[in-house]
Amino acid sequence: MSVSKKPARSLLGWETTILALVIVALLIGSTLSDAFLTGANLSNLSSNLVEVALIALTMTLIVIAAEIDLSVASIAGMCSALLGVLWAAHVPMPLAVLASLALGTLAGLFNGWLVTRLGLPSLAVTIGTLALYRGLAYALLGDRAVADFPPFWTNLGFGLVPGTQIPIPIVAFAALAVVTAVTLHATPFGRSLYAIGASELAARFAGLRVERTKLLLFTLSGLMSAFAAVIYTFRFSSARADNAAGLELAVIAAVLLGGVSIFGGRGSVTGVIGAVFLIGIIQNALTLADVPNEILTIVTGLLLILSVLGPNLAAQVKASRERQRHAAAARGGAP
Amino acid sequence: MTTDLSSSSTPAAPAPNLLARLLRAREASLILILLTLVAVTTAANPRFLSAQSLRDLALNVAIIALVVVGQTLVLLMKHVDLSVSSVLGLTAFLSGSLFVAHPGMPVWLALLAGLGIGAALGAVNGLLVAYGKVPALVATLGTLYVFRGVDYAVVHGGQITASNLPPAFSAFASGSVLGVPTLVLLVLAVMVGFSVYLRSYRSGREYYAVGSNVEAANLAGINVGRRVLTGFILSGAIAGLAGVLYLARFGTVDAAAGTGLELQVIAAAVVGGVAITGGVGTIAGAGIGALLLGVIGSALVALRAPAFWQQAIQGALLLLAISIDIILARRAERALQERSHR
């Protein structure tokens, strides 16, 4: 009773909270509108959040390692533009998709190279490449839009798994989420990310190859952004230079709301996935209830702030209460 | 990797002292780059230095440079304010609405209103960061959304156009003293004021102390919480003032005004030598950073760079500036260490 459990906000606690919030949001959503808890709507809901969800997976790893990647949406825009340009130039689609994925991987590798080789802060590097990659997207495609993608491919973007209401991209996401979760939580590589995020110096002394790990993380982030770009392009049947613009903030909001510490060293894939769905469900439910868009923006921002502020305030209240109790005990126990 | 660097510099000849000092004086090297850029561009297109294009350039840079002043205060303390673009957008619209409601309102009252609204919004950030212990990146990313959402709710699909604004305000917007636009003078005054404050006042120095080492600052008796709160209030107030100037410059404002500006502002500060790791930087440097980015932008237009390539070139140059900066800083540090070992 005297010594409280050490980690005041254990990860399990926050994950449970997120899960509870998801359920509450589902309940409130179903009371707001009859159309909410239908297969078609849930299918549409999950389809809408798939790009953010995908990029959030690799962003989780990066933030746990105490770095950040602001260029993800620009990488996606650039890869979408390349896909459009290649298709418009009659390159076979599988080849165009592969080229887009390769470009994203290279873009991520370049971020990682700047961060690890030159030792630049990732915030500064990726603000730079955010501008650079979006600029290259415009250089590739200008303000044109390529839209005449073949039905087989666009179906991969917005189609459903035959016989179900499950969107095809969500299946890919589920698979990648499992891979990411297992990698992060059950492999030495995953544990090394926490070590690097908690203290890079200590990780170095422990013999972890910090540079190589970070290089890999940024490369993976680029590849994932490209993958999200391919899905985005097919889902909307449109390749444009401004595709996915501004998505980086949505991704980071989801990662932080999911309980990943911006200072690194703490967080889980489950929490982040919960947060992605929480935001998606709230936005969908409010939209169905005819709540205007601006309220959605406000709610997203408030959620983000409260997710950190809430536990902080609770910890402060608890600490001050403990202090009072100690003071009372000291007074009562004095001889 | 790094060995070749150090081995070549260890027996280095008595390093060109002037050059080293010049390189360390960040502003000097930036001005050098700036002058080269202007010279090359003017040689290729003499109209680059025409009065009209200079005036446009100054007005465009002024608003960014103003917001950078507040951002610098926050960055010095190792925090960041991502919400400035939303603060600017919201105050631009609200001050416009004030004019619509009270066409006879004097201009100084609008500027004051912008400052006040901005300060209030900044106080929200400051309270969250200083007393709620919410990391600045999270807090201001949250308020970036919240303030923008409020902006959309208030604007509600409408917009302010130049025809809604009273003649006095339009006169202020297009006015100039000795050929220098009033807006630019106002921004310069703010920059000079804050430069002096940061350099010569105890509380100004505290921004550097907090950003260099919070615990040391605390032990030295600095009220860190109050300093952080003040920094965010000032950043908000300055962004609010910038909102009024934005309205003055463009005349037309809708709910999306200023979107994405936060990254340009941070980029300008970083190029200008304000370290995002706190404790290092000057207002002058940050202002020159904003100017450099602005000049690059208009130089690309003057050089008739293909329109769709301009953003990519700007991005590449930004990256180059950041990289050169860190390499120079590290060289200077190493040189300093070697000297102290000898």
Q: Which long-range contacts (CB under 8 A, 24 or more apart) does B156-164 make?
A: B157/B255, B158/B254, B159/B252, B159/B253, B159/B254, B159/B255, B160/B92, B160/B93, B160/B96, B160/B97, B160/B99, B160/B100, B160/B247, B160/B251, B160/B252, B160/B253, B160/B254, B161/B251, B161/B252, B162/B251, B162/B252, B164/B96, B164/B99, B164/B100
Residue-wise pLDDT tens digits, B93-137 = 999 999 988 888 899 999 999 999 999 999 999 999 999 999 998
Q: What is the pLDDT of residue B19?
A: 55
Q: What is the Cα–Cα distance from B99 to B106, expressed in whole angstroms?
A: 9
CA distances to A15, A204, A215, B11, B323 from A119, in Å = 34, 15, 11, 25, 9
- Of the candidates A11, A327, A3, the residue with the CA atom closest to the CA atom of residue A185: A11
- Tell me whether B158 touches chain A (CB under 8 Å): no
| Least CB–CB distance from B312: residue in A136, A246, A308 | A136
CB of B272 closer than 8 Å to CB of B30: yes
* pLDDT, average across residues B239-248: 95
Window 285-324 of A: residues touching B by CB (8 A cutoff) are 292-302, 304-305, 308-309, 312-313, 316
Chain A residues within 8 A of B128 when measuring between CB atoms: 305, 309
CA angle (A314, A320, A324) in 5-degree steps: 140
Q: What is the Cα–Cα distance from A155 to A199, expressed in whole angstroms?
A: 45
- Say which range, A256-265, B37-46, B329-338, has the weakest mean pLDDT: B329-338
Q: What is the pLDDT of residue A289?
A: 85
* pLDDT, average across residues A236-254: 91
CB of A44 closer than 8 Å to CB of A101: no
Q: B213: phi > 0 → left, psi -120 to 50 → alpha, else beta; which? A: beta
Q: Which residue of B has its CA nearest to A316?
A: B132
Q: Which residue of A has its CA nearest to B132?
A: A309
B112, two tokens: 């004051």
What secondary structure letter does DSSP report for B160?
B
- Tell me whether A8 touches chain B (CB under 8 Å): no
Burial A302-321 (b: 16+ CB within 10 A, else e): bbbbebbbebbeeeeeeeee
- Tell me whether A121 touches chain B (CB under 8 Å): yes
CB A135 to CB B146 under 8 A?
Answer: no
CB A256 to CB B138 under 8 A?
Answer: yes
pLDDT band at B17; cut points 50, 70, 90: low
* pLDDT, average across residues A97-116: 97
Residue-wise pLDDT tens digits, A157-213 = 989 999 889 999 999 999 999 999 999 999 999 999 999 999 999 999 999 999 999
Window 80-119 of A: residues touching B by CB (8 A cutoff) are 114, 118-119
* pLDDT, average across residues A300-327: 84
Q: Is the pLDDT higher at B310 or at A40?
A: A40
CB A135 to CB B132 under 8 A?
Answer: no
* pLDDT, average across residues A318-324: 85
The model carries a pTM of 0.83
Q: Is the pLDDT higher at A190 or at B302?
A: A190
Q: Is the pLDDT higher at A29 or at B24?
A: A29
Q: What is the pLDDT of residue A122?
A: 92
Q: Is the pLDDT higher at A291 or at A176?
A: A176
A6, two tokens: 């050490």
CB of B264 closer than 8 Å to CB of B63: no
Phi/psi at A62 (5° precision): -65, -45
Chain B residues within 8 A of A256 when measuring between CB atoms: 138, 141
> First and final CA of chain B: distance in angstroms?
24
CB of A89 closer than 8 Å to CB of A144: no
At B177, which helix (H) or strand (E)? strand B176-177
| Least CB–CB distance from B318: residue in A131, A143, A305 | A131
Q: To the nearest whole angstrom, how far is the Cα of B100 from the nearest Cα of chain A?
A: 23
Q: What is the pLDDT of residue B1?
A: 35
Q: To the nearest whole angstrom, how far is the Cα of A191 from the nearest Cα of chain B?
A: 24
* pLDDT, average across residues A314-328: 84
What secondary structure letter does DSSP report for A203?
H
- Tell me whether B133 touches chain A (CB under 8 Å): yes
Residue-wise pLDDT tens digits, A117-165 = 988 889 889 988 998 999 999 999 999 999 999 999 999 998 999 988 9
- Say which range, A176-180, A279-283, B29-33, B334-338, has the weakest mean pLDDT: B334-338
* pLDDT, average across residues B236-242: 97
**The one-letter amino acid at B185:** L
pLDDT band at B217; cut points 50, 70, 90: very high
B163, two tokens: 């025809």
Chain B residues within 8 A of A295 when measuring between CB atoms: 149, 153
| Least CB–CB distance from A308: residue in B138, B151, B308 | B138
Q: What is the pLDDT of residue B243?
A: 96
| Least CB–CB distance from A138: residue in B133, B308, B322 | B308
CB A298 to CB B316 under 8 A?
Answer: no
* pLDDT, average across residues B128-153: 92
3-state helix, strand, coil in chain A (%, to 5): 75, 0, 25
pLDDT band at B159; cut points 50, 70, 90: confident
Chain A residues within 8 A of B292 when measuring between CB atoms: none
Chain B residues within 8 A of A119 when measuring between CB atoms: 326, 330
**The one-letter amino acid at B160:** I
